[in-house]
Structure 1
Amino acid sequence: MAVPRPVPAAPADGRGFETIPVGAGPHGVTVSRDGSRVWVTCARTGSLTALEPTRRQVAAVHRVGTSLYGVAVSPDGERLYTADPARSAVSVVAAESGAVTAETVFEERPFGLVVAPSGARLLVSAPRENAVLVTDGLGAPLGRITGVDFAVGLALSPDGGLLYAANRFAGTVSVLDVSALGSMEGSAAAVVVARIPVARGPYDLAVGPDGGRLYVAHFPFDLVSVVDTDERAVAGTVAVPDGPRGVAVSPDGAKLYVANGFASTVTVVEL
């Protein structure tokens, strides 16, 4: 069992938090494996913003689509994936240049994204269809997992065997067995291992590097839950103002990045 770490408090005066201004309507956030870049999607502008986390400043802004939501980065850091539900599209973006190198248009509207540790599979949430779409490393469709209760945000355990899905209207996080993901083709019913009760409005998810903590952003309720993944229970909460939507953890587990939909900022929380 993982050794529990203290859950950070959120003082009323905001001590311990920093904010980074980004584009209008920040939604998704992800971090490169080496921690040198944080990327944020902005729903209102269809842009992808690259941040230098050590300097707490914007490094570049790239126009990618119409209204970007989820974002994920490949394990090698060379590719980004963005979900554009307005166009039902998932784009593959070169991380260095911001150029779109490939795009897949679905019948479903994509929202959340997560990449398998191997980089060979990209999972795409389709909440309106209660499904998770399974694609290859370039977003080409391979199959789908059905019966996932209006899941928006997705996260994978470090070994890729468990998929966490934020059930937006149920106030739960589903834990799904996806150990056979590498050979999956066609449609398959979700194999639900557990359902973790959390506060209302779970929206996006991020797993800590050791897999012992799962962070749940609750939109628009100014709250991030911290879940003990061994106990499968909420171990604490962090109050984050201004509508937390996207959430990501630094590779060393020391920082939490939260995209604030109402403030056009990213909050950096010391864990």
Structure 2
Amino acid sequence: MKRTSILAIALTTIPMVVAQSTWAGQAPGSLSDPDIPVSHHDRVYAAEQFSNTVSVTDPADNRLVGEIRLGEPSPGNFSPLYHGQVLVHGMGYSPDHRTIAVVSIGSNSVSFIDTQTNAVKHVTYVGRSPHEAFFTPDGKEVWVTVRGENYVAVLDGKTFEEKTRVIVPAGPGMQIFSPDGKYGYVCSSFNPEVEVISVADHTIVGNVKQASPFCPDLAATPDGKQVWFTLKDVGKTQVFDARPPFALLKTIDTGPITNHVNIARNANGMFAYVTVGGLNQVKVFRTDDFSQVATIPVGSLPHGIWPSGDGSRVYVGLENADAMIAIDTLTNKVIATVPIGQAPQAVTYVPNAVPEGDGTQNTVPPGVAGQADHLMMVPAGTGKSAEQAAAPTSVALFDQGLVQVLQAAVTGLQSKQPYVLGLSNNPDGSGNVDVLANFMTNPAGSAIVNTIGQIRQVVTPGMSTTGDTRRYLVIAPQVAGKPGAPVQVQAR
């Protein structure tokens, strides 16, 4: 109470100073939390799925500090895996800002890393394909959504050992908490339903219908009034009341491959920032009237997003560009781009993560994690370049040594139809097509397609060392089990 009284006095006696230095608490905290200005003590982390690393960035000068290596590139994972992590993907952090929790989907693990030293201090193994992990606001528990099964694993916040499970519909995607720590909100990636869980007794106390089954991410506003969640399969974002009876408030069409959402408050108000991977954009909405106030071009396949401790910036991982960008929230302009590791997924900004020193311990240079080639695909037969195409398919070839992981963020196709990604001898995609991957589009006509092989050597000009004819990437519908006429071709 005494602390609140001092703050109240400060607000009434020096309003000009406070208005310039403090706007309000930022997500995932409470509106009453003090803002923390950007400094060299802060860190931005990204979980990088194909290099199996966590990048560490100093936001004060937007400089990559280094990579925390949790596992090896793909060829090293083809034999029995006894050590190291695979498909580093999800991320959360503790209320004291001293620990990040990093989820690896392929090895079913949560790695707890000390933010001061970048050292892994514990690894907890949970069920099949966990997706995200986050601490409760009091730091006593860590909730892990086990997306490959039907429960949230509840870990002890000190020992990091599993102590109980909360059974939910199959495929829990992510969880976040109300700022007061009363509720946990768990969206689903397999069932069209968000569960609201009482943190005190781990019981389900409400639910919200999703417009589609596939929710990858959600965020609660610092004022405790709203929860925003994304729907990747249909390209929508929905908002519901964070308080009982948890009524749905708004459904917004945001675009194909709608990935993550987060909240930032600044001098202009409170805003939801949504990454739209299929459009290579971040869209910005007011939380009071849900109006869209900005569309920000950002680069290939924006994914994770998180605000700085003062709300002056949001940081976004570009999954198919191997980069982290910083957006100024007052101008909604990109102000920095930082090269990082391969295929960044979740992003977290941790204020005051490194109280002392330079925080470079236990990090390594990017090495192979910083090596990738980037291509674009455009509609076949139109003669359009990647710049002219409205929503081109972006392709990244992530170097794994002798081979590459290919990831294509496919857009602009027919809804829920079978297609192939393949190689053609001809730039226009004609002739025989050798299939690299079969895939099915989602209701928005998009898909994330992955395959692996020595692909760069044949699709990149001048890379072939065998004298073989260059090949070209092509996307074609499946017709009677075979590739039909091409609908997208590699941009030249």
Query: Is 1:145 the counterpart of 2:208 in the alignment?
Result: yes
Q: Deviations over 1:157-213 (max 9, x none)?
A: 112211101021232221222332xxx5xxx7x422x33443421223222366724
1:70 Cα deviation after fit: 2.3
What does residue range 107-122 of structure 1 map to in structure 2 within 5 Å?
107-122=169-184
Partner of 1:32: 94
Query: Is 1:207 the counterpart of 2:263 in the alignment?
Result: yes
1:126 Cα deviation after fit: 2.0
Query: Is 1:169 the counterpart of 2:233 in the alignment?
Result: yes
SS at structure 1 position matched to 2:130 = coil
Q: Deviations over 1:209-241 (max 9, x none)?
A: 66724343455x595725243464263547476
- Name the larger-Rg structure: 2
Cα distance in 1, alignment partners of residues 162 and 319 from structure 2? 25
Structure 2's unaligned 5+ residue stretches are: 1-22, 25-56, 71-84, 321-340, 351-492
CA shift in 2, pair 1:54/1:226, >3 Å: farther
CA shift in 2, pair 1:227/1:66, >3 Å: same
Partner of 2:292: 233
CA shift in 2, pair 1:107/1:147, >3 Å: closer
Q: Deviations over 1:31-50 (max 9, x none)?
A: 33343322221111111122
SS at structure 2 position matched to 1:69 = strand
CA shift in 2, pair 1:74/1:267, >3 Å: closer
Query: Contact conserved, 2:147 with 2:172, CA < 8 A, in 1?
Result: yes
1:79 Cα deviation after fit: 1.2
- Mean Cα deviation higher: 82-91 or 98-107: 98-107
SS at structure 1 position matched to 2:190 = helix
Partner of 1:263: 342
Partner of 1:195: 251
Cα distance in 2, alignment partners of residues 25 and 74 from structure 1? 24
Query: Contact conserved, 2:238 with 2:252, CA < 8 A, in 1?
Result: yes
**Aligned AA (1:25):** L
Query: Contact conserved, 2:302 with 2:316, CA < 8 A, in 1?
Result: no
By relative contact order (CA 8 Å, sep 6+), the higher-ranking structure is 1
Pick one of 248, 253, 274 that aligns with 1:216.
Answer: 274
Structure with more helix by fraction: 2
Cα distance in 2, alignment partners of residues 222 and 145 from structure 1? 27
1:81 Cα deviation after fit: 0.5
Q: Deviations over 1:33-73 (max 9, x none)?
A: 34332222111111112234455554443223321112222
1:92 Cα deviation after fit: 0.8
TM-score (normalizing by structure 1): 0.74
Structure with more strand by fraction: 1
- Mean Cα deviation higher: 52-61 or 71-80: 52-61
Cα distance in 2, alignment partners of residues 199 and 74 from structure 1? 31
1:136 Cα deviation after fit: 1.3
Pick one of 66, 69, 75 that aligns with 2:131.
Answer: 69
Cα RMSD of the aligned pairs, angstroms, is 3.7
Cα distance in 1, alignment partners of residues 100 and 281 from structure 2? 19
- Mean Cα deviation higher: 124-133 or 19-28: 19-28
What does residue range 236-251 of structure 1 map to in structure 2 within 5 Å?
236-237=295-296, 239=298, 245-251=303-309
**Aligned AA (1:124):** V
Pick one of 81, 87, 92 that aligns with 2:149.
Answer: 87
Query: Is 1:155 the counterpart of 2:219 in the alignment?
Result: yes
Partner of 1:8: none
Cα distance in 2, alignment partners of residues 236 and 264 from structure 1? 23
**Aligned AA (2:236):** T
CA shift in 2, pair 1:255/1:20, >3 Å: farther
Query: Contact conserved, 2:129 with 2:147, CA < 8 A, in 1?
Result: yes
CA shift in 2, pair 1:208/1:105, >3 Å: same
TM-score (normalizing by structure 2): 0.44
Total equivalences in the alignment:
250
CA shift in 2, pair 1:268/1:80, >3 Å: closer
